[in-house]
Amino acid sequence: MILTIGPVAHGGHFVARTPEGQVVFVRHALPGETVRVEVTEDDGRFLRADAVEVISPSPHRVVAPCPLAHPGGCGGCDFQHVDPTYQRSLKAAVVHEQLERLAGLDWPVSVEEEPPTLRWRTRMQYVELPGGRRGLRKHRSHDVVEVEDCLIAASDARTERGGTVVEHVGPHSFEVAADGFWQVHPAAPQVLVDAVLGMLRPRPGERSLDLYAGVGLFSAFLAEHGPVVAVEGNRGAASYAERNLAGTDARVLHGPVDRVLRRGLEGRFDLVVLDPPRVGAKRKVVEAVTALGPRAVAYVACDPAALARDVGYFAEAGYALGKLRAFDLFPMTHHVECVALLEPR
């Protein structure tokens, strides 16, 4: 069918409607375009589709650098066909819409550029194919597309699993498992540390709580200002955090964040950092954090919907959004990283 494309939606799709009014989430399109689409899924409530022919292109459409960024090709990049400046506008629109819909906030959002737009990904997970070849999966599929050269992969991107690697951020070094969690954009760790510290403005002697602490990135910098308790649910990451934070004023607790908070923590915390997985912190964790009465909370989020939902929970508990910064740390994809400051009203 031929459709006119509407606004961007969370998840890298664009919203259109059939003549009968059914919602269609379209990939490989842009707002305002007229495209011919091929339906890929029908779940009864809405359709998913790919734009297979552009009849009336957007001025923001460009030729995709990657020859595999097309319907039926590699599913790794949603926005290869979009001018990089406009990519950031689309991501800002998604963050704004989620905050408005889920938190009731009309909050102005801009997404900050973090070069490069290609060759930025420092870690890759390929599917091994016969004959030493490798590939990546199609969108929402287990099917594999052979990839000779991924254009968002750095020339020295790691593909190994198991062993330990060392990452450097400012004056600190961090051991991390090669297949463990670490930001994949080379600028991301320092950018996020600067954003968190800039929002919290830690004062000498203040006590900090670092939740979902990973291998101790934020704790290492917070410990320069005062004592830190770092909580991490993954045993391997917690072990690395203990080594990385040895000799600092930081203590590592291993256990699921919600359970550790439910058991209770001794003393008062002035500052809290939340860096949860994509599903967000959720209500119980937010309520436990606000019950501690910190003067400021920095929330690092890779999913705008989870962030907006939790900002709403913070509002219910008396904490308001004070600042928000968004960073384009996943160029050519729909993903965006945000840092939010929550403060008592």
Distance of CA 30 to the CA centre of its chain: 22
Q: Write down the number of H helices and E strands in the chain.
A: 7, 21
Catalytic residue list contains 302: yes
Q: Distance between the two ends of the chain, CA-based, in angstroms?
A: 51
Integer-rounded Cα radius of gyration of the chain: 21
Contact 196, 298 (CB under 8 A): yes
Distance CA 54, CA 25 (A): 16
* Residue 128 C-alpha from the chain's centroid: 26
Distance in angstroms (rounded) separating the CA atoms of residues 202 and 200: 6
**In whole angstroms, what is the distance from residue 186 CA to residue 152 CA?**
12
CA atoms within 13 A on the CB side of 342: 29
144-146/134-137 β-pairing: antiparallel
Phi-psi region of 233 (alpha: psi -120 to 50; beta: other; left: phi over 0): alpha
Q: Are 50 and 66 in contact (CB under 8 A)?
A: no
Q: Which of 207, 206, 261 is nearest to 231 (CA)?
A: 261
**Which of 66, 74, 150, 302 is the catalytic position?**
302
Distance CA 10, CA 148 (A): 30
Residue 146's H or E segment, with its range, is strand 144-146
Asked if residue 201 lies in contact with residue 188, where contact means CB atoms within 8 angstroms, the answer is no
The tokens for 74 are 């590699």
Beta-strand relationship, 47-56 and 111-113: unpaired
Just list the catalytic residues.
Answer: 302
